[in-house]
Structure 1
């Protein structure tokens, strides 16, 4: 018997039996896709081995391009085509086409067919994927489809290292048989192509066990549309955009390893087994990094760890481009995958926190395809045209081919992106990175020596228009004076002679053409004058400072409302205020639709902004409070004025100094009586 009022724990999406069968078909089909890719690129390398390095590099790159182009160009067309026929029949027909095409690779020779075969397989896979998306809509409730998509992506990527491991295992077995049996015929690529065909047949059989009569829904948007939509969501947050760039950069660096892996391993004499080992190593490393990334160096800032991981991934790729030893290359491939996985999972976690729980799976999956497409195209062209070279240093010959050049260039790009990420996302600039990292390695979190604080206390009030924060800040100042404290009540903008002039510019409705950047700088100028002339002197003499608006207003109004991004606004105000932060920030939270109705006077320049502007402001205030709950006190401004005042007084009473500083007692001439 269930307990009333207690929500029942939701079961895993794989507990839905029909979806579990579809997921099994997705996994088997994914194994076939990865096996076909590895086998066809391996065959391309084998067929062009005697044609020179440039030809081999370009043909292998052509196979990769044929794998990726259909998804970028033909994705919506496949969804539209499948919507006109029976879903199950379309998926089974796609499996049949893939089966026939891969088996024809055993009959038809020539690298041109390998490229065409990869293109046809991927076109059929697009049809299958469109049917899968429609099937998910019929088998999984609407509120569970995001979970179903994530589980599906996990299954598909998890098949990559498994396919590479099977390929390496079969390659080793084939080599042993070739050594025992003279003239042993079938190569590893051909054997694994047969296995891929069997996977496609098994997938078709699994599809026929599904009831897809309720399947339907609009086809997914194109890859380019997903990219545009995802980037638009990040436009209002500079940190999210920088995380995107970092994640895409580290993915590009690791993609280079896959793109040039077959040709590079061939130069090192590794053959099919070596190629499969390198292919497996990068995906296993990424899986290890993704799983353990948030568990390692827990005392180090996640944002710092993100930038460091990208830098280390780039340096590892650079080492791969310089070392001509297959075993070390395989080990370094694994290590680069680990660092890439760490950066990827940290980026996902931070973006989720910055984006109020939205997980950008579609955007990053689409970005991964496009980036990999670009990386393969550039790698094949640069590596192929650069060709083979031999450098002589002090009488020692050193081979430096196109693969080495591409790996080094990719490594440099990754390191640059990592350094920029580390600088622009650093949330502990006051702590030297080396000291912070050494402390984290010891399991400690380094804390800088605390600076001597001024004896006073700084309380700031924040909130949207009509929230009542001005009234509450005045009432709190009166209450604190009643307790015997010396209180300085102030506001922003306009509490200095310079500030009064700036306030007239900032709030006058006639200045509608003021740019967002100019507005930010004017508020920062008022704040710098305010801190130097009013707030800091009051704190140093032991007074209580109650301020109506402070830095967080700029983060909300200009950072979110004006869509400038909170990071740059924070940097400007960090410099303007000398890093002065309130001891307590009271956020009087009121929906904009309520607050804007409270104004009886004509609206000023900020109040006259549209409702969506004020909604962004409120959302940013709430996000700031959620990220720093120790400093923030959020109170519901829709309550009655006395009730709001009582809640604020109860919270302020917890942080009042006790005993009261002697300077405050001398200023007031009375003994403060702090009531419980």
Structure 2
């Protein structure tokens, strides 16, 4: 199988250009060259489209069959559809977990998909509410066997070094199908309304067509696996204890989080974000009905919520990169709550759709950042079960929120609030969204107090200040090619020795050339700046002040900061960027944080202005990883506060553990020149190397099933803790 996989579709790695130079490997194209990958990817895409259409159709069917009943009955009918999708996992999980690994995964998928096909066709034919619930329960029960088999198949057909990219492709296919499904269902609903007879049954045609399409997607999946069975191993991949049900994961996860306040806050934040999104989806059917937008309007709102969710998951790691991820995480939850509050009082469909998009967007941002932060905080031995618990909890909360929303909307009912001559109508669905918004704001406040250190909290006005200053909303980022690692610290000699050992490790891991450089740089401008800022030590007993210019006048703190920024601009333009564009590894001692710590915290200058000036000078280049060697200050500008300098380095690292790792300097043996890099830092480096140079050195690509968020956060799952 391995040999066939390597040769089936052409060369597995990159090639050479016409002039013989090495051509960078494209992981996606390497995957597409594998025939069985192409087939299963196409099947996943079609199945995802069918699944979303099926969810739209079944919830719309429940509402349509109870349209003559009260709002409470309609809400209960829609909730019943979602609850029957959740029930099998709680009731049959242990049985499925015991049997799934004992069956041939290819046979399991083919038989299970054909059963699901028959069940969805039966829903379309009978068009009856009770059978809808029974069939949905049976479909989800079958899925307990087929879904683990599909995940195992996906892992087995993809080369290990390409699995992270494969998971991203799978994730995009799953969530990218949402807007397409919403658009298709809206077009079907509109067409059925145009050709209908006006008897109130116009939606039935669109629902039946969507159900038939969903059934057909299961058939496509079964046929794909059947005809590709010789390319797919039939023996299940070994798993730790097999598949466990959601209930057992919840019990284990709660016991773990009980003694972890920080992890508990992250978990509550993630759950709160998805609860807000699920509540919006669940109540959307009734909410849109109060706006008189029909089934087509429901599909539009459904689609924009999940489109926003997908965009948020993709943009979350990149948006406002200079703001600590913890602050972005907590603010995003609060913004989702505000969007829900606004949505609850809107009576215009277009504005309500825009607000629904914002709910999904901010929920997606908080989910992906929270998931990543959890990856950096969990020990290796616990990471697998903690992520399984988080993902299972998200699924449970999402489905419960979708299920509870309609029923709660029906119970709350419609109320008119008089404000003088103004009458404000609050519908049951609107009040449900109002409750969800309040809950999200409370979760945001709780997470902020627990997750973000008080001294590094980013207030809303700070974010607005960044935006007003035309900052780095999307421009500041790592290079995307090569690998840029910075070593910071208050002891220049120790940081340089650590950087040398770090470079040795990176050569072993990546097999790529490593450029070791420093600031002030070795450019002509850098040597001049070094002479000005770091002159030769004065004679013993001399009273000469700090750095001086040619006339002997002292160089002020503002001038020194600008000189450092000018050197940094030239250094990046002539040394660092060319090396990164050549896909080399760059290890640099001292970068932007040095200016913030020494000139900002140490000499009382505005650290935010120093940061933005350096971003402008370097065209927004940020390191992929910053290692802070924590040690006392050995040399500082005249008048600088050494303790403030040291606290500044630690504060920067504490605010963004996804981009920093702290190494206690007292643990480094000053008598040796090697062996300074700890296993924690090595794991972080291995993750980065696997991402930028797939298959290089000894770095292994992340492994695991294509779970939600796996592609975007695969690196986080393998990273070490934030303090080494």
TM over 0.5: yes
**Structure 1 partner of 2:568:** none
Tell me if 1:125 matches 2:143. yes
**In 1, distance between residues paired with 2:244 and 2:166?**
18
Contact 2:78 2:403 survives alignment (8 Å): no
- Superposition map of 1:34-433 within 5 A: 34-136=52-154, 138-140=156-158, 151-178=169-196, 187-211=205-229, 212-217=232-237, 218=239, 219-227=242-250, 238-355=261-378, 362-394=388-420, 397-427=423-453, 429=455, 433=459
**In 1, distance between residues paired with 2:649 and 2:328?**
32
Give the drift of 1:444.
Answer: 4.5
Which moves more between the two structures, 184-193 or 62-71? Answer: 184-193
Q: Measured at CA, do residues 189 and 582 of structure 1 come closer, stay the same or move farther in structure 2, by a change above 3 Å?
A: same
**In 1, distance between residues paired with 2:388 and 2:221?**
24
**Structure 1 partner of 2:41:** 23
**In 1, distance between residues paired with 2:127 and 2:74?**
15
In structure 2, stretches of 5+ residues that fail to align are: 1-13, 17-21, 473-489, 495-538, 542-601, 603-640, 678-724
Give the drift of 1:291.
Answer: 2.3
Alignment partner of 2:660 out of 614, 623, 627: 627
Secondary structure of the corresponding residue to residue 220 of structure 1: coil
**Structure 2 partner of 1:570:** none
Contact 2:333 2:444 survives alignment (8 Å): yes
Give the drift of 1:312.
Answer: 1.0
**Structure 2 partner of 1:493:** none
**In 2, distance between residues paired with 1:305 and 1:343?**
7
Secondary structure of the corresponding residue to residue 340 of structure 1: helix
Report Cα offsets for 1:100-122 as digits up to 9, x if no partner. 22122233243222222222222
Report Cα offsets for 1:571-604 as digits up to 9, x if no partner. xxxxxxx9955649999xxxxxxxxxxxxxxxxx
**In 2, distance between residues paired with 1:628 and 1:484?**
38
Q: Measured at CA, do residues 298 and 389 of structure 1 come closer, stay the same or move farther in structure 2, by a change above 3 Å?
A: same
Number of residue pairs the alignment of both structures matches:
490
- Superposition map of 1:642-661 within 5 A: none
Give the drift of 1:91.
Answer: 1.5
Contact 1:297 1:443 survives alignment (8 Å): no
Q: Measured at CA, do residues 380 and 319 of structure 1 come closer, stay the same or move farther in structure 2, by a change above 3 Å?
A: same
**In 1, distance between residues paired with 2:157 and 2:410?**
47
Which moves more between the two structures, 211-220 or 141-150? Answer: 141-150
Q: Measured at CA, do residues 241 and 182 of structure 1 come closer, stay the same or move farther in structure 2, by a change above 3 Å?
A: closer
Report Cα offsets for 1:212-259 as digits up to 9, x if no partner. 443313442222344455667767764343222212111101110011
Q: Measured at CA, do residues 108 and 628 of structure 1 come closer, stay the same or move farther in structure 2, by a change above 3 Å?
A: closer
Contact 2:323 2:458 survives alignment (8 Å): no
Contact 2:27 2:162 survives alignment (8 Å): no
Contact 2:305 2:357 survives alignment (8 Å): yes
- Superposition map of 1:507-586 within 5 A: 580=643, 583=646
**In 1, distance between residues paired with 2:173 and 2:203?**
34
Contact 1:62 1:115 survives alignment (8 Å): yes
Contact 2:261 2:450 survives alignment (8 Å): no
**In 2, distance between residues paired with 1:99 and 1:117?**
11
Report Cα offsets for 1:26-50 as digits up to 9, x if no partner. 3322222221111010011111111
Q: Measured at CA, do residues 444 and 130 of structure 1 come closer, stay the same or move farther in structure 2, by a change above 3 Å?
A: closer
User: TM-score scaled by structure 2?
Assistant: 0.59
Q: Measured at CA, do residues 78 and 32 of structure 1 come closer, stay the same or move farther in structure 2, by a change above 3 Å?
A: farther
Give the drift of 1:63.
Answer: 0.4
Give the drift of 1:208.
Answer: 0.6
Give the drift of 1:151.
Answer: 4.6
**Structure 1 partner of 2:596:** none
Q: Measured at CA, do residues 303 and 35 of structure 1 come closer, stay the same or move farther in structure 2, by a change above 3 Å?
A: same
Contact 2:109 2:149 survives alignment (8 Å): yes
User: TM-score scaled by structure 1?
Assistant: 0.63
Contact 2:62 2:78 survives alignment (8 Å): yes
Give the drift of 1:383.
Answer: 2.4
Give the drift of 1:330.
Answer: 1.0
**In 1, distance between residues paired with 2:291 and 2:102?**
50
**In 1, distance between residues paired with 2:429 and 2:649?**
58
**Structure 1 partner of 2:611:** none
Give the drift of 1:74.
Answer: 2.4
**Structure 2 partner of 1:488:** none
Which moves more between the two structures, 155-164 or 406-415? Answer: 155-164
Contact 1:72 1:370 survives alignment (8 Å): no
Contact 1:188 1:272 survives alignment (8 Å): no
Give the drift of 1:293.
Answer: 3.0
**In 1, distance between residues paired with 2:155 and 2:170?**
13
**In 2, distance between residues paired with 1:586 and 1:50?**
65
Contact 1:458 1:582 survives alignment (8 Å): no
In structure 1, stretches of 5+ residues that fail to align are: 446-456, 462-482, 486-539, 541-577, 588-619, 648-676
Contact 1:139 1:215 survives alignment (8 Å): no
Contact 1:53 1:388 survives alignment (8 Å): no
**In 2, distance between residues paired with 1:347 and 1:40?**
32
Give the drift of 1:9.
Answer: 6.0
Report Cα offsets for 1:479-522 as digits up to 9, x if no partner. xxxx979xxxxxxxxxxxxxxxxxxxxxxxxxxxxxxxxxxxxx
**In 1, distance between residues paired with 2:373 and 2:658?**
16
**Structure 1 partner of 2:710:** none
Give the drift of 1:84.
Answer: 4.3
- Larger relative contact order (C-alpha < 8 A, sep ≥ 6)? 2
Give the drift of 1:350.
Answer: 3.1
Report Cα offsets for 1:247-291 as digits up to 9, x if no partner. 211110111001111111112211110110000010111122222
Contact 1:171 1:188 survives alignment (8 Å): yes
**In 2, distance between residues paired with 1:249 and 1:356?**
24
**In 2, distance between residues paired with 1:293 and 1:234?**
25
Contact 1:390 1:399 survives alignment (8 Å): yes
